[in-house]
């Protein structure tokens, strides 16, 4: 998870650079397209041993993962990298809430307190009562929700599918759906709020852009594999705590790319989300 966190933050930095030339949906498409070939090669080299089953859950994991990724990548292009990744890290709170409603898990007072802390941090970052509030911040939190739902499906299928097959479902659906959106984009008059889902496809040009695309495809697929392996382990409390290390990584990468360092409210919000997330993870 520590390696995944560092690679994830680096991937966010590459995404921010690529966003200057191509749309967020194209970034998602190429990132997953390269991931397909990498995972297929790994499966050919070492075939999976688990038998599989419950294909609908495998597809659902891919759809939820794509939804989380496009929202996450879009927010990276319009708000500071550290804030985008922090909002995406609200996913453990949503995991806890989903477990309460879907799996009937009990919420202790300590967990409820942790949820309150975490969402208070989200409020400070999004600044809903100030001029800095944006639609992108809302999409960042929504992306955290979809990520939580995707992680929940991993727990459902980790014992019947090889971790590489789970990642393959993610990158496969994540390449197919953008391709479909590109095909229908010329015939759709999307509202401005959903315009990032229906951009025109423009083939990237230049060695720099293609080098970054290939690099992103390799390291992001590696990050997803490491993350899936981590969430398939037994000691989820440690995994949840370590996952928050990608926030300082992201703040550092964002600063190097020209993002402003988090202001006081945002920094306090980040600290609250990390604190709440650690408490939830250790429940």
pLDDT digits (tens, 9 = 90+) for 10-67: 999 999 999 999 999 999 999 999 889 988 998 998 888 887 778 899 999 999 999 9
In whole numbers, what is the pLDDT of the chain averaged over residues?
A: 86
pLDDT for the residue numbered 236: 60
pLDDT digits (tens, 9 = 90+) for 65-114: 999 999 999 999 999 998 898 888 888 788 778 777 776 767 788 888 88
Is it the case that residue 131 has pLDDT exceeding 70? no
Which range marks the domain in which residue 79 is found? 2-281
Across 160-188, average pLDDT = 93
Q: Give the model's confidence band at 182: pLDDT under 50 very low, under 70 low, under 90 confident, else very high.
A: very high
132 and 262 Cβ atoms separated by less than 8 Å:
no
Kindly report the pTM of this predicted structure.
0.85
d(CA 283, CA 277): 10
Is it the case that residue 175 has pLDDT exceeding 50? yes
Into how many domains does the chain fold?
1
Residue burial 197-221, b: 16+ Cβ < 10 Å; e: rest: bbbebeeeeeeebeebbeebbbbbb
Is it the case that residue 139 has pLDDT exceeding 90? yes
Pick left, alpha or beta for residue 250 (phi over 0 → left; psi -120 to 50 → alpha; otherwise beta).
Answer: alpha
Q: Give the model's confidence band at 256: pLDDT under 50 very low, under 70 low, under 90 confident, else very high.
A: very high
Across 132-153, average pLDDT = 86
């Amino acid at each position: 998870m520590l390696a995944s966190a560092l690679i994830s933050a680096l991937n966010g930095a590459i995404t921010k650079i690529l966003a200057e030339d191509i749309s967020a949906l194209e970034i998602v498409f190429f990132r997953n397209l390269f991931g397909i070939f990498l995972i297929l090669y790994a499966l050919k080299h070492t075939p999976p041993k688990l038998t599989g089953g419950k294909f609908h859950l495998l597809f659902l994991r891919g759809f939820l993962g794509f939804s989380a990724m496009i929202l996450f990548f879009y927010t990276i292009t319009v708000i500071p990298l550290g804030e985008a990744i922090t909002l995406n890290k609200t996913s453990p709170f949503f995991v806890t809430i989903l477990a309460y409603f879907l799996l009937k898990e009990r919420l202790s007072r300590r967990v409820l307190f942790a949820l309150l802390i975490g969402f208070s941090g989200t409020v400070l970052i999004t600044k809903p009562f100030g001029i800095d509030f944006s639609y992108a911040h809302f999409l960042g939190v929504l992306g955290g929700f979809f990520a939580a739902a995707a992680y929940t499906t991993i727990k459902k299928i980790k014992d019947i599918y090889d971790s590489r097959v789970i990642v393959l479902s993610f990158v496969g659906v994540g390449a197919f759906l953008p391709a479909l959106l590109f095909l229908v984009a010329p015939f759709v008059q999307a509202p401005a709020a959903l315009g990032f889902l229906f951009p025109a496809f423009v083939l990237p040009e230049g060695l720099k852009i293609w080098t970054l695309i290939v690099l992103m495809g390799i390291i992001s697929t590696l990050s997803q594999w490491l993350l899936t392996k981590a969430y398939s382990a037994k000691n989820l409390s440690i995994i949840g705590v370590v996952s928050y290390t990608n926030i300082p990584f992201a703040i550092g990468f964002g600063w190097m790319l020209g993002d402003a360092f988090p202001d006081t409210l945002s920094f306090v919000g980040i600290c609250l989300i990390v604190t709440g997330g650690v408490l939830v993870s250790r429940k």
